[in-house]
């Protein structure tokens, strides 16, 4: 088994055959990574202030998420887990919809039905994720089967964390994908911790990448804090899948710098030294040094980019915060294509009480029976 792919050392110096990429593209990657970090920071503040309920941050994972997803084409699908919202924004999810989802307001395309941090964007093929670990892996395989059956060349990138490698979904998905040779790239964001359970307690395998061999596909370890390595590895895996070479597994080794979510205190289960060691390998600092060295970014430009991103974000938050929630009757809509009689009756019983007691909202009338 080869060592993990790396193109940028932690000090930003190049390693091996650094992919030749345009300066504008390299700079865009940096801005997208910065947007992930700025958005997370803002959302955490909103959560601490009690204005939104929950945040699952991607701090430390920006290279893994942005680098790998940047290798996808517009027609490709991204099946996400909890932390790929930044990739959705990069691929077309409007920031306003991102923020609307965090607020669960009536601009949210999911109609406020999912808890925070569960994004979707149909136009860029970023399906709705449940909170259940591992289920989306098999969906990606089924959807890739459909793409292949129709002779399309779309690739399905399926994202999940290290904990998901223990799930039924991981086994089923890799097994089916291997047998069917469907165009899927499995992207394991190995951030070391499944909430409070360390990777050493998740598997006895040397790396999650070794598991790929059992399914007849290549598995590759990648420095997940190196955006160029993540991009390059994904680019190669996606190209192979698109050309009919079948599925593969990428394991992007990184570190979740903050808690699992805004509800988690990671100091209870991991050492500060471990966190400090990974802070020294920060994906944004590393990439910034490389870009400044290459002359793509000016020294100190990061601060200006950050200020711009925060200004953009704050304007969106300001807008979305005043958007009202969905009407009460959406409680029983979208269970089925049409609201069946029993749900109409259930809602009508409820709204009759709400109207009598004065907590129904305007426009929340009963359904016709």
Chain contacts with other proteins (rule: CB under 8 A): 77, 108-111, 113-114, 118, 120, 122, 127-128, 130, 132, 135, 137-147, 149-150, 168-169, 171-173, 175-176, 179, 333-337, 340-343, 345
Give me the least distance between CB of 140 and other proteins, in Å please: 6
Length of the chain in terms of residues written:
369
Find, among 181, 187, 185, the residue nearest to 148 by Cα: 181
Beta strands in the chain (DSSP E): 77-79, 156-161, 184-190, 193-194, 197-198, 219-223, 248-253
Q: What is the DSSP letter of 6?
A: -
Q: Whole-number minimum distance, CB 339 to other proteins, in Å?
A: 10
| Identity of the residue, 12 or 142, whose beta carbon is nearer to other proteins in the bound complex | 142
The Cα 301–Cα 30 span in angstroms is 11
Other beta carbons within 10 Å of 196: 14
Of 91 and 286, the one with the shorter C-beta distance to other proteins is 91
**Closest approach of Cβ 173 to other proteins, in Å?**
7
Q: Which is nearer to other proteins, 161 or 169 (by Cβ)?
A: 169
Nearer to other proteins, 143 or 228 (CB): 143
d(CA 212, CA 81): 20
**CB closer to other proteins, 11 vs 334:** 334
One-character DSSP codes across 104-154: T-TT-TTTT-SPTT---BGGGTB----SSTTHHHHHHHHHHHHHHHTT---
| Structure-block tokens of residue 104 | 């669960």
CB 68 within 8 A of CB 236: no
Q: Residue 315 CB, nearest distance to other proteins (Å)?
A: 25
Query: Which of residues 121 and 281 has its CB atom nearest to other proteins in the complex?
Result: 121
Least gap, CB of 104 to other proteins (angstroms): 11
Shortest Å, Cβ 342 to other proteins = 6
């Amino acid at each position: 088994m080869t060592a993990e792919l790396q193109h940028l050392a932690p000090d930003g110096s190049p390693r091996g055959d650094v992919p030749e990429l345009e300066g504008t593209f390299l700079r865009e990657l940096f801005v997208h990574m910065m947007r992930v970090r700025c958005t997370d920071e803002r959302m955490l503040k909103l959560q601490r202030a009690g204005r939104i309920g929950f945040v699952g941050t991607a701090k430390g994972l920006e290279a893994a998420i942005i680098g790998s997803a940047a290798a996808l084409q517009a027609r490709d699908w991204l099946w996400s887990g909890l932390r790929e919202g930044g990739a959705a924004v990069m691929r077309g999810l409007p920031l306003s919809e991102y923020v609307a989802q965090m607020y669960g307001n009536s601009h949210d395309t999911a109609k406020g039905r999912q808890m925070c941090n569960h994004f979707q964007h149909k136009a860029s093929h970023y399906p709705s994720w449940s909170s259940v670990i591992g289920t989306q892996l098999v969906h990606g395989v089924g959807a890739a089967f459909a793409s292949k059956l129709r002779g399309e060349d779309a690739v399905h990138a399926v994202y999940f964390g290290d904990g998901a490698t223990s799930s039924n979904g991981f086994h089923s998905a890799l097994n089916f994908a291997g047998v069917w040779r469907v165009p899927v790239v499995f992207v394991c964001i190995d951030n070391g911790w499944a909430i409070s359970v360390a990777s050493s307690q998740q598997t006895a395998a040397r790396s999650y990448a070794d598991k790929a061999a059992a399914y007849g596909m290549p598995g590759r370890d990648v420095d997940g804090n190196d955006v160029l390595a993540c991009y390059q590895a994904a680019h190669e895996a996606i190209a192979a899948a698109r050309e009919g070479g079948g599925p593969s597994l990428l394991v992007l080794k990184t570190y979740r710098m903050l808690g699992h979510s805004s509800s988690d205190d990671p100091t209870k289960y991991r050492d500060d030294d471990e966190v400090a060691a990974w802070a020294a390998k920060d994906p944004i600092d590393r990439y910034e040094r490389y870009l400044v060295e290459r002359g793509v970014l000016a020294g100190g430009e990061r601060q200006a980019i950050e200020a711009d991103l925060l200004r953009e974000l704050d304007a969106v938050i300001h807008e979305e915060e005043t958007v009202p929630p969905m009407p009460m009757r959406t409680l029983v809509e979208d269970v089925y294509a049409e609201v069946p009689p029993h749900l109409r009756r259930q809602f009508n019983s409820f709204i009759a009480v709400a109207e009598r007691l004065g907590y129904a909202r305007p426009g929340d009338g009963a359904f016709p029976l």
